[in-house]
């Protein structure tokens, strides 16, 4: 964990109530992000990556129930904020880039108006000053011909430009925390690289604490400083990116890395992780939710109280029989 984190998440546990039962979505999720650091959360679909991000931002559905935990940004208790305080905090202190850029934008307002809405909400400025700040925000994310593009509607722009608009809106009020939730979904490879380089360069230049949600391990390895691996609502491992990829210690992490195609190995060398995520509605979920899929499962794995433990400097793993 970071010595002086900008974002600190401790023991976050929440569930969702549904007509089919209570879904135990997150349990004891903990991690930190320091200023200027890019941390990636990786894992299968349904592992709790986006829910964690939405919990930080306060975007949880009414069916969600936070049972325990603590979320702090710059030492401020986010969960203790009133609705109005959090509304003012979002956009100014913390911002999020959404997964689907075109649908995240309002189709009946120009992109310039939408960036301007964010600025006007958090910054006392005249209409002329707001317009100039909109142009500055668009130039910052390298949108060509911003004077013309600010009058465009989302449907008139490509997916890559819509994502740049989303990033411009997220950064317009100079937040300290940036969350990017699958920011390259649906974009071609070249545009993906441009978007990720933009996020990385901005994080470094402005000392932003950045949380990248992704299922793309190759992308995470290239752009992140540290990786948090999630499985079925648990953080199972966290380590600096080079160490995690060189020596994964949790069987699930090793399985994820083994399932990534390589340019040098044959297709027969790919190893799928057996089974699937457990039913999170179960009342008898084991301490390790990977137990039913794990080739190293041992009787000790079923003892309650499994927690992240240091196995090397800055390397934590929640496993009683680590690799």
In order of their start, the domains of the chain are 7-93+175-317 (3.40.50.300)
Gyration radius (Cα) of the chain, Å: 20
pLDDT values of the chain reduced to their tens digit, one per residue, 323 residues: 667 899 999 999 999 999 989 999 999 999 999 999 999 999 999 999 999 999 999 999 999 999 999 999 999 999 999 999 999 999 999 999 998 888 899 999 999 999 999 999 999 999 999 999 999 999 999 999 999 999 999 999 999 999 999 999 999 999 999 999 999 988 999 999 999 999 999 999 999 999 999 999 999 999 999 999 999 999 999 999 999 999 999 999 999 998 887 666 665 667 889 999 999 999 999 999 999 999 999 999 999 999 999 999 999 999 999 99
Cα–Cα dist 117/131, whole Å: 10
- The set of residues, in sequence order, having a beta carbon less than 8 Å from that of 264 and lying 6+ positions away, is none
- Adjacency order of strands within the sheet including 309-312: 94-97, 177-181, 209-213, 38-42, 226-231, 234-240, 315-317, 309-312
Asked if 230 contacts 196 with a C-beta cutoff of 8 angstroms, the reply is no
Residue keyed to tokens 């990636």: 40
Total length of the chain: 323
Rounded to two decimals, the pTM is 0.95
Phi-psi bin for 74: left (phi > 0), alpha (psi -120 to 50), beta? left
């Amino acid at each position: 964990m970071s010595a002086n984190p900008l974002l600190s998440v401790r023991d976050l546990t929440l569930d969702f109530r549904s007509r089919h039962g209570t879904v135990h979505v997150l349990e004891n999720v903990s991690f930190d992000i320091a200023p200027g650091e890019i941390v990636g959360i990786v894992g299968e679909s349904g592992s709790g990556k986006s829910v964690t991000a939405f919990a930080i931002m306060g975007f949880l559905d009414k069916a969600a129930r936070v049972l325990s935990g603590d979320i702090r940004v710059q030492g401020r208790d986010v969960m203790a904020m009133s609705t109005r305080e959090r509304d003012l905090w979002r956009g100014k202190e913390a911002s999020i880039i959404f997964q689907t850029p075109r649908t995240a934008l309002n189709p009946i307002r120009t992109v310039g108006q939408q960036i301007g809405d964010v600025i006007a909400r958090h910054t006392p400025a005249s209409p002329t000053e707001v317009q100039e700040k909109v142009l500055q925000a668009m130039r910052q994310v390298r949108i060509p011909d911003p004077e013309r593009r600010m009058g465009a509607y989302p449907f008139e722009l490509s997916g890559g430009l819509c994502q740049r608009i989303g990033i411009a809106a997220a950064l317009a009020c100079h937040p300290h925390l940036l969350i990017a939730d699958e920011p390259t979904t649906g974009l071609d490879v070249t545009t993906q690289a441009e978007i990720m380089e933009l996020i990385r360069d901005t994080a470094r230049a402005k000392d932003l604490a950045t949380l990248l949600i992704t299922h793309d391990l190759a992308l995470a390895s290239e752009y992140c400083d540290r990786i948090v691996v999630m499985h079925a609502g648990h953080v199972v491992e966290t380590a600096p990116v080079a160490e995690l990829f060189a020596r994964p210690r949790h069987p699930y992490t090793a399985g994820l890395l083994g399932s990534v195609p390589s340019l040098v190995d044959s297709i027969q060398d790919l190893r799928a992780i057996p089974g699937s995520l457990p039913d999170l509605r179960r009342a008898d979920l084991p301490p390790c939710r990977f137990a039913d899929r794990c080739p190293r499962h041992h009787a000790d794995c079923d003892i309650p109280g499994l927690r992240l433990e240091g196995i090397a400097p800055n390397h934590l793993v929640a496993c009683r029989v680590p690799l």
